[in-house]
Chain A
Amino acid sequence: MAEGEAEWELSKENIQPLREGRRIGALQQALSQQDGSSHTTVQQQKQAFECELRMYTGDDPLDVWDRYIKWTQQVYPQGGKESNLLVLLERAVIAFANEKRYHNDSRYVNLWLKHGENITEPLEIYNYMHRHGIGVQLAAFYIAWSEEFEKHGNFKKADGIYQQGVSCGAEPADKLHQYHKEFQARVSRQVMAGMRESEQEEESLEPTQPQRSSLVDLKPRGKKTAFAPVVRTGATVSYQKRGLSFQLPAAAHSGHNSRVMVFDENQGAAVENCEPKTEQWTAPPTGRAKENEIMPEKWTNVKIPQKFGSSVVPPSAKPTFQPFVEECDQPPAVTPCKINPAVNTVLSARKPSKEESALELLQQQHAEEQPKEQSMYCKELLFRGATEFCFEELRAERYYKKVSRELEEKTAKLKAFKEDLKKQVEAKQKLLHEHSSQMDACHEVIPPVEGHPVQQVVECLPEAAAPLPVSPFNVYDENEGAASAGSNLTAPNEGLPLDKEVDNTVNGPATKVMPFTIFCDSDTSEQSQERVSIAATSKPPTCRSLNTILKPIVESVPKPEIDTLERMKPISEDSILGSYRNKTLCPSPEHTHDFVRAVHLASTPFSASQGERDFSDSDGNLSALPPFTAVSVQTPAVKQEDYEMALHGVNQLSPIQEVSQENGQCSSSSSSLDGTSCVKIMHLTHQSEPDTPELIHIAAEQTAQAFLSETEMENPSSADSRRRALEKLDLDAFPNFFRKAEPLPTVMEGEVLFEGDETIVIFSKIASGENYSVYLGKTNINENVVVKVDHESVPWDFYIHVQLRNRLGLDSHKYFGRKSSCFLYKDGCITLHWGHHWGTLQDFLARSTLPQVASLVLELLELVQQMHSCHLLHGDIRPGTLHVCYRETCGSEDSVLKVLDFSHSLDLDLQPVVISTVSLPGIQTLLEQGVLLSTSSPYQVDLLGIAETVYMMLKRKKMKLVKKEAEWRLDDDLEISGTHDAVWQDFFKKILNAESASSVLTELQELLKNNFNDCIDDQLTSVIWLP
């Protein structure tokens, strides 16, 4: 304390006294920082105030100014230029000059009075205030005004001001009265003292010694040598005598002055004449009367023209006139200060533009009011405070504000969401209770979580079987059939339901992707043989994907139509395998077949991709053109290495191109890259299966009915029904939704797309469907974005995404991306998803070796569960619709898997559907196979999608199902991961025979967590598997 104590005392001369006093703490701090180098806290606070001045949005902007100025006074005890106090006061005063509501606000008036204290001619300020009615209701104003007059010795006017204040009813009246009384007491005392002194003066008028008067001009006397005058007058002597105890204001002296006083008859009247004059003041007087400043000049040889005695006279009683400011005539921006250039030979004149006087500022304001000049930037914000801001500072300020507000919102949201969840949990528990009681009653399995939709399903049961939309009926093309080496024998299949066959085979690219085939295997080979014979002799290629079946067919069935290569095929599978392992093109020259194949491989540029393609068509849909048949036949047996080797060729091609190429080539098949089922197998299986004839029957019936009911009961995933569903909603109310009247712009790889204020460079196409395509892109600010271009003008994806966000809250970020926006055009829409996406899972599977699948599967399960929990159905889960994110950038709370493609999604809240009406891809097949019953919950579609995807991840081929002992299971035993085979088998068993989607999802998650416990955590956090 002792040291700090000394601080204020040591620099007491540098502390400007304040009317309201100073806080000693602030004082100590300010003074101790004087010598210290760090002004940081002060600067920070100052910056904060400056920011507040600009960012203030409340309804009392004066408050900020008031606090800022008070703070400035406290922090800069010695005032000075650094504090910017004068500038601040001036700006503040001008800023609210036109705000009537502040005119009698004591804070505002105090600012004016402070401003008045700081300038040289405060009387002008008071006059101005009075004219504009600023502070006329406040006693403080009159007191200050009067005191100013008193200082100048104009007691009459000072008294007049008090009287005027009283008559105006200024508040608080007591204070005014008290000051008035005090003033009168002072005056009378001074007058008394003056009288007494003047009496004394007269007595001691005779100076004992000649004295020189101080501060008068030394007029040289004499012509040759100059002498200072020795003549003293009484007045100067008496004046000097008063010395320090000088109390009398100058007015008293004027009487003693030797100059002759001329009586001005107007003067008497003028005293009372401080009533407002008609003349309008347009500008407040400037603080620094620049016109009257003495310019720096050469001192030598300069005589100041002074008249005798004039310099001693203190500022005389203020003149009654006021400076005239012209209203209409705009004076030049520079004050009309005439600087005599002859005088300023040595020092240059101060540049007037640097300092803006209040007058200029107001003139600027006037100029701004005129419409001819309008600044195109937020000028007033930049210059509002004492310091000038740059745009970036303002923007930064806004940004930080926004961020902090967002944070607050987030926390608030989280809280709300928590409460919501609690409520939901309670509600669900109630529901659970009800359902359990219901279940007891009617023995129906109703999953508690999805109570609502399931109930609908149950309700719709009677007519569930009826409306079955069918894919367009395709006419069989003879040429195609011939070209496809007999694989596509619809015509010979007499006895089979024709429509079904066509439905499943010939749709080409138009056919939707089938999730998987179900191979209802009859274990015995004779059954398969039987089947073949029933179907057609040319059927064999269809079964080649499975080696076990392939062999018997190839060997046992004579194939008259098959090409020569096929016919001379004595080689065993093993030898082929071996040859591929060695990666030699012609490993066993003795085998002619091998040799010929090698020639093909070497000479046909597309052979590799062909092989790859066929491999991915793991169902063995070998419908390729004859020259390729041999290759195709063997590729299913080819192992990983070859597969990859083949892929290297493909890598140069974009996945999209492959698809299109393939579609063009395999016109007869319904295959696409992402795995298609060959329903022909299915078909045959049904035929051979003894216990499924009624299924076929049903299917036939369904298709027949579907034709009828198509018009009545429409497909909920069709564009029209979606559009109708969305019409009920106000899409424009969603954030980031933009409607545009123009047609859909063309989106091409490598092109730049302008969407609203986003500029997006399209990189690559990662997926496509019948009506849409998905691209990877980057915005102009280097954010990764997934662009989905839909040719239907239904913002369905966006809608689902918004619903996910609304219904899931923050949880939705994990799997469904954080930000999306949608641009709806006349004939399409573009949906943007932000995030660090790499591509589809399918591409990913195709390019990289897979790590342990378990972590991904877990994410997939949770993802689907989340969607289901808010009554949304994905409807099309397959590797092609799942997106993979960069692990290292998405943070621990984000998943690797994301869903961005909701083309086949259904909002079960918006469109109550039953499974049989859903025309999801492949659902018909599933229905036919009996994996899905028409009574089952729509959610099961997603379960089967998961199963398919997981199988793809594990085995990289299509899943085939068989029904054994009333249970669906995989037709091969999984042999992949060794130790975990049993777990996976369990997994598939559960997911294929699920009764309730939600419980199975939880069950499966637990199953995986329990069995992969040791590695999941590691994988989730550390696996960085970028190809």
Chain B
Amino acid sequence: MSSTLKGITLKGSAELVAEFFSFGINSILYQRGIYPPETFTRVTQYDMSLYLTVDPKLKTYLNSVVSQLKEWLFDCTVQKLVVVISCLETNEVLERWQFDIECDKSAKESSAPREKSIKSIQEEIRSVIRQITATVTFLPLLETACAFDLLVYTDKDLVVPEKWEESGPQMIIDSEEVRLRSFTTTIHKVNSMLSMCSRAVYVPVPLAPCPCFCFPPFSLPQSVLWVFQHSTCCK
């Protein structure tokens, strides 16, 4: 890492965050099975094993996005990065991994490094990526062939660079959201959130309230038993 251990500058922060995105996106693609697992290779980063794609086309695509992102991060003009996973055939959005980026624009003026060790930042990043991995536990199996899209939200006055085009937000209707961990470099703060299509997920029926009844004073012995049973079942 180019940053010093003592503090972190804007440039270093942008690099760190861009690097996180590179690994994060790769992780998502691997974990969600968008590309066959054979096309990934294992590397060690942030003290853990991560998978990076070996597919040359995907590699170049991701590299170009990340390098562009790095510039924007350095300019503090980026607001969000979204990984959209959609069904290849129907184009229906199934998952939406959203990373909100809060930039501290004051860092552009003062170039003084912020007090945060890279170790602690990497610690935070690691926990985010771990969580991304852990989401497989509850995410539905993507049974159809899927494609992914990268959306970047930037400040309004930005010139759209080459190969980029403007896009809609591609939100999921009827979605369920899970907030993931966040990390901060003190200059850039990344909040992650996952929303997924909740169609297929079973929603438990709310329990009908147990009706409570009292009995007339001259009641049968059985009904006393009922009351007792009822109270036990109500409890």
Contact = CB atoms under 8 A, between A and B. Distances in A.
A45 B179 contact: no
Interface string B113-141: 00000000000000000110010111111
A75 B140 contact: no
Interface in B170-220: 176, 178-181, 196, 198, 200-205, 207-208, 210-211, 213, 216-220
Interface residues of B, number: 44
A40 B205 CA distance: 15
Interface stretch (B66-74, B153-161, B224-232): B224-232
A101 interface: no
A27 interface: yes
Contacts of A782: 218-221
B137 A22 contact: yes
Given A45-B204, A396-B233, A403-B211, A24 B138 contact: yes
10 contacts: A22-B138, A23-B138, A23-B198, A45-B205, A47-B233, A67-B205, A77-B137, A77-B138, A189-B38, A781-B219
Nearest to A69: B202
B57 interface: no
Top 7 A-B residue pairs of the complex, sorted by shortest distance between their CB atoms: A21-B140, A781-B220, A22-B138, A15-B137, A70-B202, A12-B134, A20-B200
Contacts of B201: 20-23, 74
B178 to A, nearest CB: 5
Contact of B131 (A1, A9, A781, A836): A9
A889 B217 contact: yes
Given A9-B130, A782-B220, A20 B204 contact: no
B235 interface: yes
Contacts of A18: 138, 140-141
A399 interface: yes
A23 B178 CA distance: 10
Contact of A21 (B139, B145, B225): B139
Given A393-B229, A400-B211, A783-B218, A21 B138 contact: yes
A303 interface: no
A400 B212 CA distance: 9
Interface in A20-34: 20-27
Given A18-B140, A403-B213, A74 B202 contact: yes
B179 A1 contact: yes
Interface string B36-68: 001000000000000000000000000000000
A375 interface: no
Given A20-B200, A23-B201, A889-B216, A41 B137 contact: no
Given A23-B198, A40-B235, A781-B221, A48 B137 contact: no
A784 interface: yes
Nearest to B127: A9
A8 interface: yes
A20 B233 CA distance: 32
Given A20-B200, A23-B176, A392 B225 contact: yes
Given A8-B138, A15-B138, A399-B226, A23 B179 contact: no
A20 B207 contact: no
Interface string B63-99: 0000000000000000000000000000000000000
Interface in A374-425: 392-393, 395-396, 399-400, 403-404
Contacts of A178: 144-145
A392 B176 contact: no
Contacts of A296: none
A23 B38 contact: no
Contacts of B203: 23
B218 A20 contact: no
B204 A74 contact: yes
Nearest to B140: A21
Given A12-B137, A21-B200, A404-B211, 10 more contacts: A5-B180, A17-B136, A18-B138, A20-B201, A21-B201, A22-B137, A24-B176, A47-B233, A71-B202, A400-B211
Nearest to A9: B134
A19 interface: yes
Nearest to A73: B202
A24 B179 CA distance: 10
A920 B133 CA distance: 93
B213 A392 contact: no
A44 interface: yes
A889 B180 CA distance: 62
Nearest to A390: B229
A246 to B, nearest CB: 13
Interface string A876-913: 00000000000001000000000000000000000000
A12 B21 CA distance: 23
With most chain A CB atoms within 10 A of its CB, the pick from B134, B179, B204, B226 is: B204
Contacts of B140: 18-21
A26 B204 contact: yes
Nearest to B142: A21
A327 B222 CA distance: 47
Contacts of B143: 19
A48 B204 CA distance: 12
A23 B218 contact: no
A47 B230 CA distance: 12
Contacts of B226: 392, 395-396, 399
A904 B220 CA distance: 34
A116 B140 CA distance: 19
A19 B211 contact: no
A889 B218 contact: yes
Contacts of A74: 201-202, 204
Contacts of B221: 781-782
A44 B210 CA distance: 10
B71 to A, nearest CB: 32
A769 B204 CA distance: 65
A75 B204 contact: yes
A782 B216 CA distance: 11
Given A9-B130, A48-B208, A781-B220, A21 B229 contact: no
Contacts of B130: 9
A64 to B, nearest CB: 11
Contacts of A26: 204
B141 A19 contact: yes
A23 B201 CA distance: 6
Contacts of A47: 233
A39 to B, nearest CB: 12
A44 B207 CA distance: 8
B60 to A, nearest CB: 23
A392 B225 CA distance: 9
Contact of A41 (B144, B145, B180, B207): B207
A8 B179 CA distance: 12
With most chain B CB atoms within 10 A of its CB, the pick from A24, A26, A47, A70 is: A24
Nearest to B205: A67
A74 B138 CA distance: 10
Contacts of B219: 781-782
A48 B234 CA distance: 11
